Structure 1
Amino acid sequence: MIELDRIDRAILAAIQQDGRLPVAKLAERVGLSETPCARRLKRLEGEGYIDGYRAMLSRKALQLGVVAFAQVRFSVHDRAVSDRFEREIQGISRIVSCHNISGTADYLLQVVARDLDEYGIFIRDVLRTLPGVTAVESMLSLREVKRDGGLPLP
C-alpha cells in the first residue's frame, strides 16, 4: 500500500458519501481529468482501500422499527464453540453487525426487528439457542443520532 495523498483521500471521501458517483463527476469534484481519476480509483480498489460498494437501505421503509444492541455472554470460553457461534451468526440477517469485545460480555450484536414482539421471539428462539450462549442483555436504541457515515480519513 502506498501513502495516501490529498487527492486519494478526496476520492475516498467522495465515494464514501456517494458510491454511485460517476467517474466524470468524481474527477470534477477532486480536480482531476477522468482518466487519471479512474486510474486512481482502480488503484485504490486494487490496494484494498475500498472493500466494496453497497446501498444504504431505509429501516423505516422496510418496517424495521427496532434496533437493539445485544451483549452475549459465554460461560465456557472454548475456541471451537466461539468459532461455531461466529459461523452461525453469519447466516442470520437480523444481526447486522457483530463484534467480539472485551469486558463483561463476549460479543456485541446489532439486531434489527419489525417490533418488540418480533425481537423478543428472535432472542428466545434464535439467539439464546446459539452455541455457547449463556446470557443475553439487550439495550434498545431509542433514536439514531448518527448513522454510519464512513471511516475517518487521515
Structure 2
Amino acid sequence: MSEWTGTFTARARFDPSKSDPRSICLFDTHPENRFTLFGMRSSTKERAMRELDQKDREILAILSKEARIPLKTLAGRIGLSRSATGERVANLEKSGVIRGYRADIGQIDSNIIRAMILVSLKRTPALGLLDELARHAEVRRVSSVSGQLDLIVEVEVPTIDRLNRLRNVLATHETVEDLTTAIVLRRDIERENA
C-alpha cells in the first residue's frame, strides 16, 4: 500500500459492505478513489443491522442454555469486557435477535400424558381454530406444517379423559377435516436449542 498525502474534500458514509461494521468510507469526487477508516463509532441502528459475528454467536449459544447467567460471567467466557458484552446483548435485544428470556419448565408431574394431535384442515387459514387452541392451557405448541397434515398440536394432559375432551373440541371445529392422536410413550432424544 502506498502512502498518500494531500488534501481533498470528501464525503463520508457508513459502508455495510465492509466486514468491520464500524467502518466509514470516504470518497472524493471519483468512485475509484475510496478510502476506509476503521474504529469510527457507528450508530446503534447500524450495529443492530449488521450481520452476527462470532462473538454474537457465542453469546447466543450461551444464553440459549443459561439465560440467567451473570453478565460478568458471560463476558469472561467470550473474552470481552463486561461493558462490551452488555452492549452486544443490548444490541441483540434491540434488533430482535433476542426476543426474550423464558423459564424452561421441566415435567412437574410424572403422570402427565403427552400427545400430538395431527390435524388436516378443510381450508386454510383456519380462522378461529388457533384462537380456540390458545384458550386451552394443555396445548403446549402448535406448528403449521407442509404436506398432508396442516397442524401438529402438542398437548400435555392429566388424564385420557381430558385428552378426549380436547380432541372432541377440535374435531367439531368447522375448519377441521380430520385428526389423529398419537400419545408420546417416551422421548428418546431431546436436545436443547443450540
Normalising by structure 1, what TM-score?
A: 0.84
Query: 1:68: which partner in 2?
Result: 115
Match runs of 1:80-119 below 5 Å: 82-119=126-163
Match runs of 1:20-59 below 5 Å: 20-59=68-107
Give 5+ residue unaligned stretches, structure 1.
Answer: none
Query: 1:2: which partner in 2?
Result: 50
Query: 1:145: which partner in 2?
Result: 188
Q: What is the deviation of 1:86?
A: 1.9
Three-state SS of the structure 1 residue aligned to 2:182 is strand
Query: 2:32: which partner in 1?
Result: none
Report how many aligned residue pairs link the two structures.
146
Q: Output one character per residue of 1:89-126: Cα deviation in whole Å (capped at 9) or x when no partner.
A: 222221111112222222111111123332223212x3
Match runs of 1:4-19 below 5 Å: 4-19=52-67
Residues 39, 6 of structure 1: alpha-carbon distance in 2 compared, 3 angstrom cutoff = same
How many angstroms apart in 1 are the aligned matches of 2:68 and 2:159?
A: 32
Segment drifting more, 40-49 vs 64-73: 64-73
Q: What is the deviation of 1:78?
A: 5.1
How many angstroms apart in 1 are the aligned matches of 2:73 and 2:84?
A: 13
Q: Output one character per residue of 1:13-71: Cα deviation in whole Å (capped at 9) or x when no partner.
A: 00000111111111111111111000000001111111111111122x24562111111
Aligned amino acid, residue 96 of structure 1: R
How many angstroms apart in 2 are the aligned matches of 1:14 and 1:31?
A: 13
How many angstroms apart in 1 are the aligned matches of 2:186 and 2:110?
A: 15
Asked if the contact 1:73/1:133 (under 8 Å) is kept, the reply is yes
How many angstroms apart in 1 are the aligned matches of 2:176 and 2:131?
A: 14
Query: 1:127: which partner in 2?
Result: 170
Three-state SS of the structure 2 residue aligned to 1:130 is coil
Q: What is the deviation of 1:139?
A: 1.3
RMSD (Å) for aligned C-alpha atoms: 1.8
Which protein has the bigger helix share? 1
The match for 1:77 among 113, 123, 135 is: 123
* Greater relative contact order (CA < 8 Å, ≥ 6 in sequence): 1
Identity %: 27
How many angstroms apart in 2 are the aligned matches of 1:6 and 1:131?
A: 49
